[in-house]
Amino acid sequence: MKNIFLSTYSGESPEAGCDEAGRGCLAGPVVAAAVVLGAGSVPTIIRDSKKLSAKKREEAAKWIKEFALDWSVQAVSPTEIDKYNILQASFMAMNRAVAQLNPKPEYLLIDGNRFVCTSGLPFACIVKGDQKIPSISAASILAKTERDRIMKDLHQKYPHYQWDKNKGYPTREHRLSLAKWGPSPHHRKTFRNSVPTLL
C-alpha cells in the first residue's frame, strides 16, 4: 500500500522535512535529518519512526536513501549539548542537516513547536509532524536509525551501559550502570544532576 501526499505542504518546492533523535538521552549525540521527498506516493512504512520496529526502520531508511530527492543526517556531540543545552543543540543538528541539502530547499517542515532557523529559510513547526507529514516521518526514521547505529558502535567500547539496548535513554538499567561506573566521555554532563533522583 502507498501513502499519497500533496506536492507541497506550504506551496513552495522543494520542501525539506526535519526531525531529530536522542533529545531525551543521558548519553550520545543528538542526531537530526532533513529529507526532501518528491510528489506522488511513498510506502506506508514511511511513518513515525517510534511506531516501527528496528527492522522496519532499517527497511524504511533504505527506501528513503534510494528514492528521496535528497537527504542529510548530522549530529551534535555531547560536548556541544553541554555547552549550548539540548534544545539549542537539537536546532543546531537540524540546521546542519538542512545546510547539506542540494539544491537548497525553499521551505522547512519542522517536527515540534519551536525552531530557530539559521539559514533564513521560511519554515513551519508542526506538532506531531512525524505522524502527519511524510517528509518529517522520513527524517525521523533516518535520524533514529543513524543514532541507533552510533550508540551500538559506542557500546562496543562501553558495554556496561548497555547502549546496544537502551541507546543512551534513561532506563533503570542505564541509570544503575551510571551510578556504579560513573559517566563516560559520551555522557552529557549537564544531565548528571538528574540521575540520582531517577534511581
Q: Where are the domains of the chain?
A: 2-151
Instruction: Tell me how far apart the alpha carbons of residues 94 and 78 are, in angstroms, rounded to a whole number.
Output: 16
Q: What mean pLDDT is predicted for residues 157-177?
A: 96
Amino acid at 150: I
Q: What mean pLDDT is predicted for residues 40-68?
A: 92
What is the CATH class of 2-151? alpha beta
State the DSSP H helix or E strand holding residue 198, giving kind and residue range, or none if neither: helix 195-198
Q: What pTM was estimated for this model as a whole?
A: 0.91
The larger pLDDT score, comparing residue 188 to residue 11, is at 188
Q: Which residues contact 140 (CB under 8 A, 6 or more apart)?
A: 19, 21, 33, 48, 49, 50, 111, 130
Q: Give yes or no for residue 164 having a pLDDT over 60.
A: yes
Give the residue among 154, 198, 122, 135 at the shortest CA–CA distance from 8.
135
Q: What mean pLDDT is predicted for residues 10-21?
A: 90
pLDDT tens per residue, range 184-196:
999 999 875 445 4
Q: Give yes or no for residue 147 having a pLDDT over 60.
A: yes
